[in-house]
Amino acid sequence: MIARIVTIGLIALLSFSFVQVETPNYNSKEKESAIIEAVLKYLDVLHFSPKEIDDKFSEEVFGEYLKSIDNSKRFLLKSEVDDLMTSKTSIDDQINSRSLKFFDQSIELLDGSIERAKSIYNEVLECDMDFTEKETYITDPEKRSYAKNEKHLKEHWRKSIKMDILNKIDQKLEEQEKDTTDAVKLTFDEIELEAVEETKKNFDEWFVRLSKVRRSDRFENYVNAITHVFDPHSDYYNPKEKKDFDIRMGGKLEGIGARLSPDGEYTKVVSIVPGGPAWQGKELEVDDLITAVRQEGEEAVDITGMRLDDVVAKIRGDKGTTVILSVKRSDGTYHNISIVRDEVILDESFARSLIIEIPDMIDNVGYIRLPKFYSSFEGKEGNSCAVDVAKEVEKLKAENVNGIILDLRNNGGGSLQDVITMTGLFIEEGPIVQVKANGQKPRVYSDKDDEVQYDGPMIVMVNEFSASASEILAAALQDYGRAVIVGSGSTFGKGTVQRFQNLDQYIQGMDDMKPLGEIKLTNQKFYRINGGSTQLKGVQSDIVLPDTYSMVDYGEKEYDYALPWTQIDPLDYSQDVFKVRNIQSLAAKSAARVADNAKFDLVEVQASLTKKYRDESEITLNLEDYRAYLSAREMESKEFEEVLDKDVEDLGIRNLAVDSEVFKTDEAKAERNTEWIKSIQKDFYLEETLNILKDLIEENS
């Protein structure tokens, strides 16, 4: 095993020291070996739960990597997997000797298998298919074996493609059956031909994308197979991916403000961000196909056939610079569009607030939606969700709200420092969370400011997708008795902390090889102030509302190499701001309302169907049976769509006065706000949360 450093001093030393590597004439494999060496050194020294680099480790890496390159089992034959398995217990030895034998072998086999699959799918599409035959297709790859030979592989592809064609035939038949115009109806043969042609086009485009996969892409899969056997949240990031990560966390980027996707050999504009440079210019349109990109003062670059990430890299650029896009319109005309890059604010990621109420029941309640715990890592001018939530709280206090609902549903977490600061807005000074590295005493992160920004009734909404920082805040406010946690049975269960380490710091010299990228590794676990971890278990809601995923396993516990739940000593903590009392009474009243609410009845039915559909892994390939199966599913879900998608009639929503003034002068923000309120209007979970808040106020008055 790589020598383990156990003292804080030596750990810190590694972060700032270098290893001299005398390799003046290196190639890509030497760079890859250097990356693996640096990744493993950081994992060994800084990871919360380091692993022995031995045969067991090799077997785990082998399994992870095999899933990453052919999880659907549609490329490799069993004999080829067996060939790869000769390295199953020697990956550790190869790593120590700087050998990439297994990785090179996998690329060679995979590239060959993709070419074989390309030939097979073209051959299959030339064959007649019998949609009256009684046969089935296993959709779950875990319940399929690797093909014994090319004959069995071809049979798998035949059923897979038949499934795709069958689905398209059903859609076309359904559209034609619902068409009440005098349009000429297609025969079944004509419909089948269209479905086959569309399927071929989709697979042609897919194989084009596969042909653009680079060695570096496969290498990242290999490195992440290594990091993921330490835990599911440790990842290797190449320099571009790290930049994209920072953009997501910061909620802003400098570019043109358009979302793109591959479309055959072209890159298509799928949406335009309101308020961004492209939106303001009014020239670029949705469905435009970008054929070339030119920087001001330079020659145009033909991007036909180029990978999407490379296209994005050419379009994205510094604020104030100009990019010229050559586009083809759906009407066949060509245009050159100049766009001055600017900062694109992705404000659907930012904290926003509203006033919500139920007339004659509870009025003037503040609602804050926080989609993630964002924080820009680029300096003092970056975004901070803690600062933004503090601003929203002040705006709500100015409206004299009777309570605040903080919505953290689907919030996957983010900045640790921001969640500590944000929690401190609602309590007196005191501990928020304990963070512990392997073999060290826990470090306590506290709110050291005894000022309480908001001291009134409060509810935090969560669901099974609320993770990490969301769980820290919910757990702290629950332990203090400061707020009622409302939502799913439990949150996601991610109780670990990750930190980035720049791999360039590990190797001195070889500057032409750099940048090597960064590793995001799990170096700590966080614990509640009551001593328990949220790892695996999550935060259990005080008041549970039915949800679609209540009958299936979801969250951290589904990962193969998730770290275990553990417990440490609790802290002393208390607060005298607002103490939730009679939580059992609140839960009982909510349960009575939920039992009498038809929408929640449907959610529970939907939950059982979700489990049923999730467990199904074998689908009929007989057209008549398939259509009957889909019809039954549609009948089951139709009631949900009709009821659950309706507006909540007695839910009143309005913007804060100060925000309404901004919308009068900012058309883009006004448009985004309108769409947001439309989605909120359908939220019957919010309706019940308002009822709970009313009870909370009455019980604690």
Tens-place pLDDT, residues 476-490: 999 999 999 999 999
Q: Is the pLDDT of residue 185 over 60?
A: yes
Contact 136, 67 (CB under 8 A): no
Q: Is the pLDDT of residue 348 over 80?
A: no
Q: Distance between CA 684 and CA 644 in Å, rounded?
A: 8
What integer pLDDT is reported at residue 73 of this predicted model? 93
Can you read off the two tokens belonging to residue 167?
Answer: 């689905």
What integer pLDDT is reported at residue 66 of this predicted model? 95
What integer pLDDT is reported at residue 633 of this predicted model? 82
Residues 377-407 have pLDDT tens digits of 544 445 789 999 999 999 999 999 999 999 9
What integer pLDDT is reported at residue 378 of this predicted model? 44
Q: How confident is the model at residue 275 (pLDDT cuts 50, 70, 90)?
A: low
**Average pLDDT of 373-379?**
66
Average pLDDT over all residues of the chain = 87
Q: Mean pLDDT highest for which of 16-25, 331-340, 514-523, 559-568?
A: 559-568
What integer pLDDT is reported at residue 331 of this predicted model? 65
DSSP string covering 306-368: --HHHHHHHH---TT-EEEEEEE-TTS-EEEEEEE-EEEE-GGGS-EEEEEEETTTEEEEEEE
Does domain 350-500+522-580+649-699 fall into CATH 3.30.1540.10?
Answer: no
What integer pLDDT is reported at residue 296 of this predicted model? 85
What integer pLDDT is reported at residue 298 of this predicted model? 85
DSSP string covering 140-198: -GGGSPPBSSHHHHHHHHHHHHHHHHHHHHHHHHHHHHH--S-PPPPPHHHHHHHHHHH
**Average pLDDT of 435-452?**
94
Beta strand pairing call for 301-302 and 235-237:
unpaired
What integer pLDDT is reported at residue 85 of this predicted model? 96
DSSP string covering 500-569: EEEGGGGEES-GGG----EEEEEEEEEE-TTSBB-TTT--B-SEE---TTTTS--SGGGSTTPPPP-B--
Q: Mean pLDDT highest for which of 135-139, 212-216, 292-296, 567-571?
A: 567-571
The domain ranges of the chain are 52-229, 252-345, 350-500+522-580+649-699
Percent of the chain with pLDDT over 90: 57
What integer pLDDT is reported at residue 42 of this predicted model? 95
Residues 560-609 have pLDDT tens digits of 999 999 999 999 999 999 999 999 999 999 999 999 998 999 898 888 88
What integer pLDDT is reported at residue 243 of this predicted model? 67
What integer pLDDT is reported at residue 17 of this predicted model? 36
What integer pLDDT is reported at residue 255 of this predicted model? 75
Please report where in the chains the tokens 């006065």 appear, as a residue.
657
- Which H or E element spans position 369? strand 362-369
Q: Is the pLDDT of residue 40 over 90?
A: yes
What integer pLDDT is reported at residue 13 of this predicted model? 31
Residues 505-521 have pLDDT tens digits of 887 777 778 888 899 99
What integer pLDDT is reported at residue 4 of this predicted model? 33
For the domain made up of 252-345, the CATH class stated in words is mainly beta
End-to-end CA distance of the chain: 61
Model confidence pTM above 0.85: no
Q: How confident is the model at residue 352 (pLDDT cuts 50, 70, 90)?
A: very high
- Give the lowest-confidence range in 108-112, 176-180, 457-461: 176-180
Kindly report the length of the chain. 701
* Residue of 47 and 672 predicted with greater confidence: 47
**Average pLDDT of 149-176?**
92
Q: Is the pLDDT of residue 10 over 50?
A: no
**Average pLDDT of 143-167?**
94
86 DSSP assignment = G
Cα separations in angstroms, 658 against 376, 396, 398, 628: 26, 10, 10, 54
Can you read off the two tokens belonging to residue 472?
Answer: 């820290």
